[in-house]
Chains A and B, each alone.
Chain A
Amino acid sequence: MEIDEPELAGPSKGKKQATIPVDDAHPFDLEAYISSYNGRTIVDRLSWIIQQCPTLAPQALQIAMVHVPRLRDPNIATMLLHAYEQAVASGVQENMPSFVELSKVDQTWIDELNRRNSEDRVKLEVELKTYSSNMIKESIRMAHRDLGEFFRATGDYQSALKQYQKLRDVCTTSQHVLDMCLSVLELLIESRNFNIITSYVYKAEPALDATSNMLRNSNQGPTATAAPPGREKIAAEREKVQSKLDLATAFAHMAQGTYDKAATYLLKIGSIKSLGHWIGTLVSASDIAIYGTLCALASFHRSSIKAQLLDNPTFAVYIEQEPYIRELIEAYMASKFKTVLEILDRYSTRHFLDLYLTSHVVNLTNLIRSHALVLYFQPFTSIKLESLSTAFGWTPEYLEQQVVALIQAGEIQARVDKQNKILKARDIDQRAVLFTRAMKAGKDMQATNRKLLLRMRLQQAELIVKPPKTSQQTTAHPNELGAAFDQ
């Protein structure tokens, strides 16, 4: 529930600050990137970029300042200032222009905004009070909603969430519940508070079912002829909500590091249109393509990648947004893992500068790398470590480390011939293994039976350890016997 600004820098604190390069090898077009968003997220994203990448900071700040006056959050300028100061302090870029020079923040604008905000707030609260005293449920609901939206716009996420949560008590139809859940989800994603997303998705799902059922039933009423187009409309409506829920669930799973589930939900999302205004205010279509693909590559089997990612016409539309993602998938499917890793490295800037993806980039890259290594080795019975390291473009030491880790994790059935620098697949004699296992099972079974039988006999004879009536034990303390091992 805590939403405070310093948390934004959280994931990157441990790492070296401001090492994200923007150069020919790591292209990043700030204007193109930011143009696919609108609303508050532009400033949020830019602020992140300012912190992470001082090279881009002045440019980012300039763009951000264009958008700031359109927002109603008076603190946002301060937030940008902090971010910018951090970037200056990192000292990566010399001769950065000062904040005031670029921002031209008008103190009168801030004062004016504050005044307007407090006026609006008073007005909305008075409205809510009147409705509450008149007990008009529908109006109370609207008043809470308006107040929630107001708080959200002014950047007070906690108060906004509180208002939305109060909505629950005054919801009269399932459509209201659905609206409430979607508002909350939007708010949670915007404020990057992923912990409680799933609980709102769970609440929304039955409401969604109820709403579509209700619509269907009402259509079967007097105008039976209008039913077929109605049904299509219902399906479209339903898809709209479902896609949003899927996206929210995917975010929740990503935050927990369950990338396989995140990928499943991301790949289920309907058409771009179905996400409505979420595209732009929260994410862009290319973001979905990137998240979905990276998560899928990191956690899916080859066959499921093909079935769910490549042969998925809906998701293909998303992929169109980012051509390099298609290259990435194609290289992966063609087992050109060096290319895969190169693309990942080339676009790492893009990934690190993404507000939602940034903390997962390292994990995802590692997972994709291990998957690739496993896949690459699959057809071989033995392979020189050297050729493996050239195929991946790694140093032999790093490769060996990776391979050993994978063997220990049981991902690769192979062993390293350290002297000859060869990775050899395990030659398993299934027959011998089977016999060994069967023999062991037989022995274990007999031992287990024996022990169970004794246990049963003990129970039949009621020789059960009971709480002592008298504390005196008739025998020596066990430790006296334990001395046997000391000699």
Chain B
Amino acid sequence: MSNTAAGPSTATSPSTTNTNAQQHAPATLEELLHFLLSEQENSAVQQTLKNFVANKNRDSILASVLASGQDPLDLLHPETNTLGFLYILSARLNVPNAPPPQLAAVEAFCRSFSPTQARLAPERVTALAKGIVHASGDNLKFAVAPLRDLITRYPPNMSYLTTIHPIFLNACVSTQNYTSALPILTSPILNIDLHLSPDLHYNDNLIYHYAGGIVFGALKRWTEAEECFEIVVTAPNQVPSALQAEGLKKLTLVQLILHGKALPPPKFTNSVLIRQFKNSPYFNFAKGYPRTIAKLEPLVMKDEELFKTERNWGLIQQVISRAPRWLIKRLTHIYLTLGLSDIASQIGVRSEDEVRALVLDMVDTGEIIASISASGTVTFSDAASQFSYSKEEIDQALALAQEQSRLLLQLEREMNLSKEYIAKALKHKDEAWGAPDEEMYNTHSGGGWGDDF
């Protein structure tokens, strides 16, 4: 099936038609295709594709069909001709009025492309990801699977943040396809490589983690949701962004669900952000939590409109519905035994049956340890003393800790090798002995463990 349309006759024409510096550069799609199929050297391919025709026409030519009416994508192999395939595919998806590629072709490419080749053209990968979303239009759910393949295969491992991440998560959240996002989200982002995604923007990080928080929240995995929102809130900034302000609101609500109270804002939170937040009704709501539902309801009703327009109403309802649980939890610290009716009056729930159901449910979920006698007496036992760890669990924890300190040590060495660090260290050394030295050399991993607390 190979080069039927682009014969050897066209291969010689560039030398006559093309007056540019490029000697053997292909000028038409047919020539290009021929070149792609014959050339195997990746960097040469990339160079040629990059310089193919003048900038503004390139994509429209790439997006066109061969003179014979054949789809160029049928001729290329996604794995061996990844670069060519990528250029043409991304052009076809993005150029208006271009013949749309077959969904099967997109899926096949994402499944089997060669990552090493693709990394030579990172901006085309971004374009492809955007194109996939764009092309699927209303049927966004078709975009999820190819994007997931792309995201898992493109970076060297899952700890890298790429431009595909926010696009993928956005698609997942919009289609409420939360579970597909989980395999990606559960591996935390630790690395950023601008060679991998040179057009990475600070918003990509914010959107990815913000959407991640929403996914975890929708699946009621609150601990992870909290972490995601925390990353959003603490992202380095000169001025707070709108996403961070929203993130702080959601972070607080998630904390109310998870801990029963709002924790103080993370250390790196922008002070303007905190000040803004303290003036919002969210802060007041969090301050008065937990209280009986009867007391909480009027508090939120006052700002119902705001909560609804900011789309946090659902979350607030969840927070409120958990209030009796936190009140019961608080009672366990004070009482050893308590009648169901006493609990009912203390937490503001009307019927004893409701309390009974609530206590049973909390025991089921492991929130409290308690038993109810036939006479309606609830006996709480201490949660802390019931906990014990097996040897395996402790070993595992130790192993994790060691791994962590190894990682930190390695990071420190990397840091010590960097030019900026050495330059700075030398400068400090010249200026003064003593205090700066201590500060500098104390970045040892052992110290790192203690520093954060």
Contacts and interface: CB of A to CB of B under 8 A. Distances in A.
B294 interface: no
B377 interface: yes
Contacts of B334: 404, 407-408, 415-416
A486 B200 contact: no
B404 A473 contact: no
Interface string A399-423: 0000010011000000111111010
A485 B211 CA distance: 12
Interface in B236-281: 236-244, 246-247, 250, 268
Which residue, A454, A478, A479, has most C-beta atoms of chain B within 10 A?
A: A478
Nearest to A466: B238
Interface string A450-462: 1111110111110
B205 interface: yes
Nearest to B334: A407
A475 to B, nearest CB: 6
A449 interface: yes
Q: Is the interface of B mostly helix, strand, loop or mixed?
A: helix
Given A415-B335, A455-B268, A485 B400 contact: no
B246 A482 contact: yes
B190 A454 contact: yes
Contact of B335 (A417, A435, A442): A417
B342 A475 contact: no
B63 to A, nearest CB: 23
Contacts of B449: 445
B382 interface: yes
A465 B202 contact: yes
B327 to A, nearest CB: 12
A362 to B, nearest CB: 25
Given A447-B227, A476-B170, A418 B311 contact: no
Q: Is the interface of A mostly helix, strand, loop or mixed?
A: helix
Interface stretch (B296-304, B356-364, B385-393): B385-393
A102 interface: no
B318 interface: yes
Given A416-B336, A417-B336, A460 B246 contact: no
A435 B389 contact: yes
A449 B201 CA distance: 23
Nearest to A433: B384
A66 interface: no
A219 B382 CA distance: 70
Contacts of A408: 334
Nearest to B332: A415
A439 B388 CA distance: 11
Given A451-B230, A457-B192, A475-B203, A481 B210 contact: yes
B311 A483 contact: yes
B452 to A, nearest CB: 5
Interface in B376-404: 377, 380, 382, 384-389, 393-394, 397, 400-401, 404
B235 interface: yes
Nearest to B160: A457
A447 B188 CA distance: 10
B448 interface: yes
A458 B202 contact: yes
A449 B448 contact: yes
A406 to B, nearest CB: 10
A465 to B, nearest CB: 3
A482 B337 contact: no
Given A455-B234, A457-B192, A465-B239, A435 B387 contact: yes
B210 to A, nearest CB: 6
Contact of B388 (A435, A442, A461, A473): A435
B336 A415 contact: yes
Contacts of B211: 481
Interface string B149-193: 000000000000000001000100110101000000000111110
A95 interface: no
Nearest to A458: B236
B48 to A, nearest CB: 30
Contact of B387 (A419, A432, A457): A432
A256 interface: no
Contact of A465 (B191, B238, B389): B238
Given A451-B230, A454-B189, A458-B192, A463 B404 contact: no
Given A479-B310, A486-B313, A439 B377 contact: no
B238 A451 contact: no
Nearest to A446: B404
Nearest to A418: B338
B411 A453 contact: yes
Given A416-B336, A449-B452, A429 B312 contact: no
B192 A486 contact: no
Contact of B218 (A435, A442, A484): A484
A307 interface: no
A487 interface: yes
A429 B384 contact: yes
A442 B246 contact: no
B448 A464 contact: no
Contacts of A483: 311
B335 A439 contact: no
A428 interface: yes
Contacts of A97: none
A152 B24 CA distance: 107
B452 A452 contact: yes
A451 B191 CA distance: 11
A481 B214 contact: yes
A466 B192 contact: no
Nearest to B210: A478
Given A457-B191, A457-B192, A465-B241, A484 B384 contact: no
Contacts of A418: 335-339, 342
A467 interface: yes
Contacts of A31: none
A483 B173 CA distance: 9
B95 to A, nearest CB: 20
Contacts of A487: 176, 314
Contacts of B214: 481-482, 484-485
A464 B202 contact: yes
B310 A432 contact: no
A463 B203 CA distance: 8
A465 B240 contact: yes
A415 B333 contact: yes
Given A481-B170, A481-B211, A486-B313, A451 B192 contact: no
Contacts of A482: 214, 246, 250, 310-312, 315
Interface string A301-344: 00000000000000000000000000000000000000000000
A98 B395 CA distance: 88
Contacts of B448: 449
B218 A417 contact: no
Contacts of B236: 455, 458-459, 463-465
Contacts of A25: none
A173 interface: no
A446 B192 CA distance: 19
Interface string A77-116: 0000000000000000000000000000000000000000
Contacts of B238: 464-467
A115 to B, nearest CB: 61
Contacts of A484: 173, 176, 178, 214-215, 217-218, 314
Which residue, A447, A457, A484, has most C-beta atoms of chain B within 10 A?
A: A484
Contacts of B384: 428-429, 432-433, 436
8 contacts: A415-B380, A428-B385, A441-B453, A446-B400, A464-B238, A481-B210, A485-B217, A485-B313
Interface of A: 404, 407-408, 415-420, 422, 424, 426-429, 432-433, 435-436, 439, 441-442, 445-455, 457-461, 463-467, 473-487
Given A432-B385, A446-B400, 9 more contacts: A415-B336, A435-B394, A439-B393, A439-B397, A441-B453, A465-B236, A465-B241, A482-B214, A482-B310
The 4 closest A-B pairs by CB, nearest first: A485-B314, A482-B311, A465-B237, A429-B385
